[in-house]
Structure 1
Amino acid sequence: MRASDRAYATLRQEILDGELEPGSLLGEVEQAERLSLSRTPLREALSRLIADGLAVQAAGRGTVVSSISAEDVDLLFELRLPLEVQSARLAAERGDPQRFATLADRFAAAESTLQVSADSPADASAGSPAAAPDDTQYYDLTAELDEALSKAAANPYLSHALRSMRAHLVRARRLAQHEPARLQASAREHREVCLAIASGDPETAGAAMLIHLRRSHAYITAQHERS
């Protein structure tokens, strides 16, 4: 892997994971030293992050991680709805039914696990609610679904557009800090999407995806308004 590609992949993932928060300075000298590479490939990586919309040039500061607001979320969902719905429809027409049936089973299992977390009583001895579960595995599963949808749709232009958009939505989702009850509902909605795709019914698959996206948008918007 080229040095610029490695730097781009590392910085992109750190931004998506929230390790580099909005407004974080991506100084050339500091980042080049941290990533053990020269400034030329680092500049190439920063240029790609700017093209992705994950970083911006701030006057008087240099390159910083871009912010994401409630208005940005609204704009992203304006684009996301038609693209994801079409992706689900195409997957139902072109995809491997068994792969999506297997994913449906895994989302059902995730829903059961999240149900336990959502129903956990408060810690009476500490006088505080039970700790939220580690949602990393659940989000890894949703990423698998995204990959399966892209492969099944078999449209590289659609896949490219979705990859760019999903990166921003990962950040919006992390800032919203999903609660166990919402994650449980999300798992159920994803299961319905997978079952519809596995059945080979594009209309039902598109409708199931649309329901999930509208509920996700409403939840993220509400969380941003509270913060």
Structure 2
Amino acid sequence: MRTVTVLTTALAGVVFGLALAAPPGPMNAIIAEESVIRGRIAGFRAGLGAMSADALFFVLTLAGAVAVIDRYPAARPALYFAGGLLMLYFAVGAVEEARSATTFTGGREDGSSGFRKTFVLSLTNPYQIGFWLTVGVGLLQPGTLDILSHVPAAGSALEGVLVVETGSPALLTGFFAGIALWIVVYPVTLDAVGRRVDAFAPVIAALSAVVLVGFGLVFLAIGTLRVV
């Protein structure tokens, strides 16, 4: 087995962070809305809200507090209901932004609104909490992870090629660096595109509302099923 290097582990952490932050969802919908209505700085602040929640979950995972949720069956449905209602509430705001934003960065100047939205929503997001209850715990536990050895049909040949050290400062630093990279690049990209197309702002705000409504209804449905 090849020697585990700090660089390899850090790069793997960056990939993990990007994998958590980049997929489409309610957080990126809010970041997109803030970016095109108020500009790249507001979009970054919205991303920083979600990242701050991850930092809080990281601390709680280290303390073992997040695992308490698994001990109470009623906690998960309550989180789904709370998260779903918050998404629907934020969707109403996105619809209002879509109506009022006639040009790019034409909305109200309230740089802290996006941070509050994503931070509060992250705290009630079962998927984000679930990540820290499963993958997050694995990232924190000291050990090694031979990533390519799990590739179907080729695992034995690739064994030892890409080994990362879990629970190491390099992995955790890389993980949050990956999230930070996304919340910088994503708003900047939207800003660059939006300034070329004035009608882009209300369209993105409307799409943000659609995404939030969709995820909100899904969360409420899941919460109902878990109660039943």
Specify the TM-score bucket, using the shorter chain as the normaliser: 0.3 to 0.5
Higher RCO (C-alpha under 8 Å, 6+ residues apart): 2
**When the two structures are superposed, what TM-score results if normalisation uses the length of structure 2?**
0.37
